[in-house]
């Protein structure tokens, strides 16, 4: 068994209507908050007004930074930091999906750290040293996808360098995560499917990663079981609060699992796709995942057999190896059920780009490549992309 260390410093507040607690929680950190969010969904659903109102009732003033884009960029982070400093805020609230929460993490640590966000990218000036602390951060997740609300990773895209990197730092951990399943009810079916599959891949990848531990296995198995039970229900009926609650829980468990177990080849190959094509994260992952399972199940037969079982394989009389081989087939069944059986070609990828994507992955996704059991050399990754077209 691997040696391991396990720490989860974020306070987790879970439950329907737990958003009502944001005022009393905010009060611990000061009287002025910067709310970091995307342009639309929190306004349209009334969530922004609700949060501003709850804060106001507790005497907390809000400044709003609503410039976060999907796959947030270094430019977005710089804009948020400038506003946090100008408004002299005491704490940050990340309100939205992974994009808003990741941006809020980077804004929280860059508001008190030297240099520029690019200096903290892998291989850059302050990468090894890391940030110098962070403003207190409350994350409020409105998707069930990334697990960002309670982990240390902030994924930021450097558009000029075509790099989409997961910045990992102890200063990235939110102080408090509020997980209110009701806030995910308004997520449309396709985004529910894509984000829910992101949860599945987090759990699955942490489970088969070289860095897996008994802690991450517990979280990952529970998360995969919950996705298998409830993702299709949440896609079909967004108002099914039980299914939404299962997905919210799975989301947080899976995010905690990757925080320590890391991701493997699925994330390693999909980040370059999002960096070049701005594809939704869960869709880019879904385009490559079945090919990865098909070629890598032999790297850990008991675990891939367990994945097949968790995805619904109950076929009698199979050996462990035959069951492990079925993992890809059962994943495809789930993808079809939630209407997300897509290919890289659907996302705009062409064969002449595979060399670029492969090289980009080897430059930017060394961690996930290193966590992958078996071998993942240039030719093997090239093949994964090619078969996923
Ligand atoms: P997202 O945050 O980009 O949101 C996707 C879309 O859903 C947006 O248009 C948003 O406005 C909309 N939306 C969000 N909540 C909604 C709601 N309640 N109702 C209606 N619409 C809503 O998507 P995401 O998948 O949550 O996050 C993706 C980002 O997170 C990517 O940049 C990805 O790389 C990153 N990520 C981070 C981690 C991590 O550990 N930090 C892990 C995986 C992915």
| Residue 97 CA, closest ligand 1 atom number | 2
Q: Report the share of the chain in percent with pLDDT over 70.
A: 100
| Higher-pLDDT residue of 4, 94 | 94
ipTM: 0.98
Closest-CA residue to 344 (of 384, 381, 304): 384
Over residues 273-284, the mean pLDDT reads 93
71 lines ligand 1 (CB under 6 A): yes
326 lines ligand 1 (CB under 6 A): no
Residue 180 CA, chain-centre distance (Å), reads 17
Contact yes or no for 364/164 (Cβ under 8 A): yes
Closest-CA residue to 272 (of 366, 132, 376, 133): 366
Over residues 64-70, the mean pLDDT reads 95
Query: Residue of the nearest CA to atom 24 in ligand 1?
Result: 98
Strands 153-158 and 163-168 turn out to be antiparallel
Over residues 104-118, the mean pLDDT reads 98
199 lines ligand 1 (CB under 6 A): no
Over residues 18-34, the mean pLDDT reads 98
Mean pLDDT of the chain: 96
pLDDT of residue 160: 85
pLDDT of residue 101: 97
pLDDT grade for 144, boundaries at 50, 70 and 90: very high
| Higher-pLDDT residue of 66, 164 | 66
Strand extents, DSSP E, 258-302: none
d(CA 329, CA 265): 18
Contact yes or no for 231/203 (Cβ under 8 A): no
Among 10, 102, 153, the mutation site with the greatest number of ligand 1 atoms within 8 A of its Cβ is 102
Residue 118 confidence (pLDDT) above 90:
yes
Q: Is the dihedral of CA 56, 172, 246, 346 positive or negative?
A: positive
What stretches of 311-388 show up as alpha helix (H) in DSSP?
Answer: 320-325, 327-337, 354-364, 366-371, 378-387
191 lines ligand 1 (CB under 6 A): yes
pLDDT in tens, 128-138: 999 999 999 99
184 lines ligand 1 (CB under 6 A): yes
Over residues 47-53, the mean pLDDT reads 97
Among 74, 99, 108, the mutation site with the greatest number of ligand 1 atoms within 8 A of its Cβ is 99
pLDDT of residue 63: 98
128 Cβ contact partners less than 8 Å away, ≥ 6 residues apart: none
CA–centroid distance, residue 160 to ligand 1 (Å)? 22
165 lines ligand 1 (CB under 6 A): no
CA–centroid distance, residue 145 to ligand 1 (Å)? 7
d(CA 139, CA 157): 20
Contact yes or no for 169/122 (Cβ under 8 A): no
Residue 1 confidence (pLDDT) above 80:
no
186 lines ligand 1 (CB under 6 A): yes
pLDDT in tens, 158-203: 988 888 889 999 999 999 999 999 999 999 999 999 999 999 999 9
Q: Report the share of the chain in percent with pLDDT over 90.
A: 93
pLDDT grade for 71, boundaries at 50, 70 and 90: confident
Over residues 31-39, the mean pLDDT reads 96
DSSP label at residue 179: E
Residue 247 confidence (pLDDT) above 70:
yes
Which structural domains are found in the chain, ordered by start?
11-184 (3.40.50.1970), 189-388 (1.20.1090.10)
């Amino acid at each position: 068994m691997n040696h391991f260390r396990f720490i989860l410093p974020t306070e987790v507040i879970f439950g329907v209507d737990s958003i009502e607690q944001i005022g009393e929680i905010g009060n611990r950190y000061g009287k002025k908050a910067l709310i970091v969010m995307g342009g639309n969904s929190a306004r349209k659903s009334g969530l922004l007004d609700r949060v501003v109102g709850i804060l106001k009732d507790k005497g907390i003033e809000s400044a709003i930074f609503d410039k976060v884009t999907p796959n947030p960029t270094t430019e977005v982070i710089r804009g948020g930091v400038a506003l946090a400093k100008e408004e002299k805020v005491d704490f940050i609230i990340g309100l939205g999906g992974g994009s808003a929460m990741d941006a809020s993490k980077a804004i929280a640590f860059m508001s008190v750290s030297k240099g520029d966000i690019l200096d903290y990218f892998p291989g850059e000036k302050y990468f090894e040293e890391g940030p110098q602390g962070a403003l207190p951060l409350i994350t409020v997740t409105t998707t069930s996808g990334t697990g960002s609300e309670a982990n240390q990773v902030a994924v930021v895209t450097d558009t000029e360098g075509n790099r989409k990197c997961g910045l990992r730092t102890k200063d990235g951990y939110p102080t408090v995560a509020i997980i209110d399943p009701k806030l995910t009810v308004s997520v449309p079916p396709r985004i529910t499917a894509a984000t829910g599959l992101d949860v599945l891949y987090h759990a699955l990848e942490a489970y088969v990663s070289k860095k897996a531990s008994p802690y991450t296995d517990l979280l990952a198995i529970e998360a995969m079981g919950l996705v298998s039970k409830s993702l299709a229900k949440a896609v079909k009926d967004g108002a099914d609060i039980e299914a939404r609650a299962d997905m919210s829980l799975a989301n947080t468990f899976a995010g905690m699992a990757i925080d320590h177990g890391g991701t493997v080849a699925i994330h390693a190959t999909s980040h370059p796709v999002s960096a070049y094509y701005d594809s939704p994260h869960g869709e880019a992952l879904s385009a490559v995942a079945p090919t990865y399972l098909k070629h890598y199940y032999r790297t850990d037969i008991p675990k891939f057999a367990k994945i097949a079982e968790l995805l619904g394989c109950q076929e009698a009389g199979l050996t462990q190896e035959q069951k492990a081989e079925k993992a890809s087939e059962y994943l495809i069944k789930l993808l079809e059920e939630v209407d997300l059986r897509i290919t890289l070609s659907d996302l705009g990828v062409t064969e002449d780009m595979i060399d670029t994507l492969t090289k980009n992955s080897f430059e930017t996704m060394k961690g996930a490549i290193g966590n992958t059991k078996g071998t993942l050399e240039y030719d093997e990754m090239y093949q994964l992309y090619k078969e996923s077209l």
